Amino acid sequence: QKIDGISDRNGVEEFCHNSTFAQYCNNGQVRVIYIQDIDALGPAAARYYSSKLWGGETYYVQVDSHLHFANGWDELYIADLKLAKAYPKAILSTYPPGFVNFRQEPPYTSGTRLCRCRIRAEEGFVPRVEMEGRSRENETRPTQMAFMGAGFFFASAEFLVDVPFDPFLPWLFMGEEVALSVRAWTHGWTIYAPRKNLIGHQYRPMSMGTPHYQDSVSRLLTHPGMFGRAENQVLDRVKHLLGYPDLHNDNHEDNSDPYNKFLEMDLYGLGTERSLKDYLTFAEIDIDKRTCGPMKWCSDGELE
């Protein structure tokens, strides 16, 4: 990929060719999958493939590309995670700030909270996760949220055993986060906002002409409107998770049908530790009215 006429750097290659760090690559601690852009299936599919690189490590972290990290970020997040009341089944998640508002040394900025959602017709009536609120300076432990952000989450790697990433979400963007959130919560995992921002992300909108996976999809699905129709089929899988009543899911038990959009929901569906009804109440989502509540409890950090 090229950005502003400059090829995107291969950070893994640079790391592994550095004499100081080459040992970690040589002994298998750095693992990577390379995929041609024309074969890209969107961020949700990328999460699935990335999760298959797990080699038994204690913790799992999901991040986007183009990042700055605070010094000692991993140890600081581990300490924060262990302070959460639901630990070890606790998840830290947020949208990292942009580089301008990020500090690699203390004092760090307060962690941003994912305490709002929005449901719009133009996005298929699937809840969009948004930022609302910040962690308070005097918090002694992380406080709860209802949503996970795809741009950053940190948890015990047992998460991958309990909530394996769904491989049947190609081309999905909107809906990825709420699907992962409801699956994690119903499997008994509790989501928390980190108290401090320890990762910064370079946000570069599509309007700047930067590459995007939809560019590849447009080259693959050349018929007008084909991408939208394909994405809507995948969105039905997310809506099924959330209990939308108006779906045609007559074949969702038939795992032999390759065109079944509800394939293997027994493996990639909801958990049994907590109910969907309780999650929707907790997240203040009304599926029938297609609305999200204010979640003041979340933005104020009321629940430990």
Rounded to whole angstroms, how far apart are CA atoms 294 and 183?
22
Residues 244, 252: contact at Cβ < 8 Å?
A: no
Dihedral angle over CA of 132, 136, 139, 143, nearest 10: -10
Q: What is the pLDDT of residue 167?
A: 95
For residue 181, the model assigns a pLDDT of 98
Is the pTM of the predicted complex or chain greater than 0.75? yes
Task: Note the pLDDT of residue 256.
Answer: 62
Low-confidence ranges of the chain (pLDDT < 50): 2-3, 5
Contact 97, 200 (CB under 8 A): yes
Distances (CA, A) of 266 to 81, 104, 166: 29, 42, 11
Which pLDDT belongs to residue 90? Answer: 98
pLDDT given at position 229: 73
pLDDT given at position 210: 60
Q: Determine whether 303 is exposed, middle or buried from the number of CB atoms within 10 Å of its CB (0-12, 13-18, 19+).
A: middle
